[in-house]
Structure 1
Amino acid sequence: MILTAAASQVTQAQGRPQLVVQSFFDEPTNTASYVVHDPATLRAAIIDSVLDFDAAAGRTDTTSADAIIAHVRAAGLTVDWLLETHAHADHLSAAPYLQAALGGTLAIGREILRVQEVFGKIFNEGTDFARDGADFDRLFDDGDQFAIGSIPAIALHVPGHTPADMAYVIGDAVFTGDTLFMPDYGSARADFPGGDARQLYRSIRRLLTLPVETRLFLCHDYKAAGRDRYVWETTVGAQRTGNVHVHDGVEEDAFVAMRTARDATLSMPKLILPSIQVNMRGGHLPEPAANGTRYLQIPLNVL
């Protein structure tokens, strides 16, 4: 029923003002962030923003977020939503900084509660860390409907990469988070705590039942071998015919075997420990210690 609603929304969008998508690519983390808006109302959402972080110096910077703010203001947009597809393991979210400047409702999937529980233990967070999603303004359930101005949107739960991944179907476009990469690169890893390759396959195939012309906007690109530029937009049709991991005809067991073997060769993302620690809090940095300094923890020999 939810997929039928999402597919119907995409079909209906063909005769309506098309969602305007402006991307911002952060090469140090290979992350694509988006400002999307309804041209009829100038209402907007920001998806998967980046807070710049120099891990060696332990220093944050807002250059990437400031570029988003400048775009929103120059285009005369009103931000209604700050959408996170999941608690990212490769970059820090700038959502609180953007919210302070532009407003909007900060939202993520309800399964963030599982992520908070798991990583609350890994980081030995005490009772001061609420594992109830309170750092976010809205927790989406699968199939929840909302809107960007006059353009309808649906939140879809697409677990596998993590238990909390969401995809956002907005008009004729889908923001897939870390489920899919470009067809020549394949799919996301599924070996983080709570990840599941079988769930990932089913989530991907669910998205690929949408109309073939549906635009897909990805959260990352890493330049597949033989490609000399970054790309983060594709279509359902291109994924179904050309994705090297999950094109039409690839069976679930084959995908799980491939994904499991491939994941066993991957090292952890460089920023996973600071990223998860911040992103499970909705992008809020840990509270300052008694000396006024904020600290991130590095649990040893855990991941």
Structure 2
Amino acid sequence: MSEGLVRKSPSRGTGSPDVWGIHEPDSGSIQYICADPETKKAVLIDVVLNYDPAHARISEESLEQVLGIVADEGLEVEWVLDTHPHADHMMASSRLKARTGAPNAIGTKVHEIAALWRKFYHMPDAFDPDTDFDRLFADGDRFRIGNIDVSVHLSPGHTLGSITYKAGDAAFVHDTLMHKDVGTSRCDFPGGTAAELWTSLQEILSWPEETRLFVGHDYGGPDRSEPAWEATVAEHRAENPHVKDGTRREDWIKRREDRDATLPLPDRMLAALQVNLRAGHLPPAEADGESYLKIPLNKF
């Protein structure tokens, strides 16, 4: 596997973080390092644990690439963060916690997401977010990255418990928006709804126009082959084909639901969620010392 494309979005001044985006090509995911340039304190957001579905094999190339940037830049990791339990890749949360010593976190509504997926997997005793994550953030919670204030915003729709981290003028908006020339993200997974995603999008697009929005995925665009993931609120409001200014709620919901009805499940979803709801830990080893995935048949 080749290393993913890396771009740095530099700080714009006091209270504005440096942001590195690292593209993971197999899943189209964007991983982030967000750092205070004054103190070199940093957080890692939505880092990927690589999974090859054809061979059911785990590897750590993306994790190593991210930690390599951390070392090269002389950063100190204070948090390992995820925005939601991802459907298209496994999360590196628990491994990063072990490597860096930093606490890991996700949104508190992961409890409700875990309850949904216990039923789908028929594993009534599986998943204990309070054990696997050090902090479960609620809407309105705040913390700091060095001297930079961070606020937590519940932004459901893609999942019922997705959260956005807003650090100064940078917001990590995960699977709400796609890049400004593509549109918005799907909301047809269990617990997701188009109506809730619309409300989340309107909150994000109400922030100051210069706010840098960093999205969770990119697969190229209509006039580009290279991935892109950063645009301002003003750019999305002017250019995003799904939600630019003047878009009506009912038109967007119909467009989103019609599009979602044509999409297949992500090829890693049924494997990934039973790992991600354990913060990236593999299922408990069985008598032979190996871990095994459980895949529900005929449920999706």
Does the TM-score normalized on the shorter chain lie above 0.5? yes
2:151 is the counterpart of 1:146: no
Gaps of 5+ in 1: 1-12
Aligned to 2:116: 118
Aligned to 2:295: 298
Pick the aligned partner of 1:272 from 269, 273, 285: 269
Question: Partners in 1 of 2:270 and 2:170 — Cα distance?
Answer: 31
Aligned to 1:103: 101
2:79 is the counterpart of 1:89: no
Identity of aligned residues (%): 40
Question: Partners in 2 of 1:161 and 1:217 — Cα distance?
Answer: 16
> Secondary structure of 1:64's match?
helix
Pick the aligned partner of 1:63 from 61, 64, 70: 61
Equivalent AA in structure 1 for residue 144 of structure 2? A
Aligned to 1:237: 234
Aligned to 1:181: 178
Q: What value does the CA root-mean-square deviation take over the aligned residues?
A: 1.3
Equivalent AA in structure 1 for residue 101 of structure 2? G
TM-score by length of 2: 0.94
Cα contact 2:127–2:277 (8 A) shared by 1: no
Segment of structure 1 superposing worse, 196-205 or 278-287 = 278-287
2:274 is the counterpart of 1:284: no
Q: Residue 120 of structure 1: CA displacement? A: 1.1
TM-score by length of 1: 0.93
Residue deviations 1:111-142 (CA, integer Å, cap 9, x gap): 11111000011111132x24454311111111
Aligned to 1:251: 248
Aligned to 1:6: none
Gaps of 5+ in 2: 1-10
Residue deviations 1:18-40 (CA, integer Å, cap 9, x gap): 30111111011001101111111
Aligned to 1:35: 33
Q: Residue 47 of structure 1: CA displacement? A: 0.3
Cα contact 2:129–2:277 (8 A) shared by 1: no
Cα contact 1:112–1:133 (8 A) shared by 2: no
Moved over 6 A (4+): none
Q: Residue 211 of structure 1: CA displacement? A: 0.6
Q: Residue 290 of structure 1: CA displacement? A: 1.1
Q: Residue 249 of structure 1: CA displacement? A: 1.2
Q: Residue 191 of structure 1: CA displacement? A: 0.5
Distance 1:273 1:147, change over 3 A: same
Question: Partners in 2 of 1:197 and 1:17 — Cα distance?
Answer: 33
Aligned to 2:43: 45
Q: Residue 283 of structure 1: CA displacement? A: 1.2
Cα contact 1:17–1:40 (8 A) shared by 2: no
Alignment of 1:168-247 (within 5 A): 168-247=165-244
Residue deviations 1:71-90 (CA, integer Å, cap 9, x gap): 21222211111110110000
Question: Partners in 1 of 2:128 and 2:123 — Cα distance?
Answer: 10
Cα contact 1:274–1:297 (8 A) shared by 2: yes
> Secondary structure of 1:134's match?
helix
> Secondary structure of 1:29's match?
coil
Aligned to 2:6: none
Q: Residue 16 of structure 1: CA displacement? A: 0.8
